[in-house]
Amino acid sequence: MILTGNVAVDPTNLEAISNAIIFKEGDSSERRALFTQWAQKMKQDGALAIIQLSHGGRQSSVWANRTPFGVSDIELKTDPPGIMCVKPVALTTEQVKSEVVDRFVYAAKFAYECGKNIRPVFKNTVVYLTGGFRTVGAMVDAVLRNTTQGIGLGRPATAEPDLPKKILNGSVLSAVQDAFNPNDLIKQMLASGSQLEQMGRNSVRKAGGNVMDQISDYSDERVVEVFNGKTMEMYGKMQKDALSGKAPKMLVVMN
């Protein structure tokens, strides 16, 4: 199965700059051809292609929109405030329909039409729950209680790509605890992005089978301090780039 990254359903409420977007105002045969090509590429070796449709909501990137829509006007807190997300404009119930529901429906139909020959799915769907799982005990408990059939891991999986393997072979009982403020989701997402970039530098073969090759250890407070400094540098550069008309790049590169 191949799942895309976020594909925005609204051209102004992006999850991140450079998201692919499906929106009725931009419908064209060229865009349909490109999305069809994308679906074909994903399916070329027999994978099931799933498109992830998203609306940024209050988490919309400030780089794309300074007045994002939200279900309330409560801002997502980030450190420093306002650098990633800003106070959203609360939608009315009618706007939730016209600006969110209708856009999702439109994008789903567009995606279905572009990838039409995708076989019927969800007959034997397995439900995965993601978010906050760190200990094996809690994961097992959630499955035993039938809350979910599988566990998804986000941030812990970029810190330790072989964590599922280690859990299954019984060598660990939890993810490693990082030294970030647990409420600073955006900072942690950026840190995960930096780890993904590190993983991409080398092949596992060239690293002698070491999947942890070059990955920063954020359980170490000193590493987090270095990361914080580099994050501020990145924001500065993003601001400069945005002002000079260049597309800002949101990636913290660690050594």
Ligand X SMILES: Cc1cc2nc3c(=O)[nH]c(=O)nc-3n(C[C@H](O)[C@H](O)[C@H](O)COP(=O)(O)O)c2cc1C
Residues in touch with ligand X (CB under 6 A): 5-6, 52, 130-133, 153-156, 158, 189, 192-193, 196
Report which residue's Cβ sits closest to ligand X.
154
Nearer to ligand X, 156 or 248 (CB): 156
Q: How far is the CB of 155 from ligand X (least distance, A)?
A: 3
Nearer to ligand X, 65 or 158 (CB): 158
Distance CA 191, CA 217 (A): 10
Nearer to ligand X, 69 or 180 (CB): 180
CB 238, CB 250: distance < 8 Å = yes
Q: How far is the CB of 70 from ligand X (least distance, A)?
A: 17
What contacts 215, CB < 8 A, 6 or more positions away? 158, 159, 161, 195, 198, 199
What contacts 235, CB < 8 A, 6 or more positions away? 80, 83
Query: In 115-149, which ranges are continuous DSSP H helix?
Result: 136-144
Q: How far is the CB of 146 from ligand X (least distance, A)?
A: 20
Q: How far is the CB of 192 from ligand X (least distance, A)?
A: 4
Work out the burial of residue 83: count CB atoms within 10 Å of its CB; fewer than 13 is exposed, 13-18 middle, 19 or more buried. Answer: middle
Q: What is the separation, in whole angstroms, between the first and last Cα of the chain?
A: 32
Nearer to ligand X, 33 or 253 (CB): 253
The residue whose two tokens read 């992005």 is 193
Q: How far is the CB of 82 from ligand X (least distance, A)?
A: 22
Nearer to ligand X, 19 or 65 (CB): 19
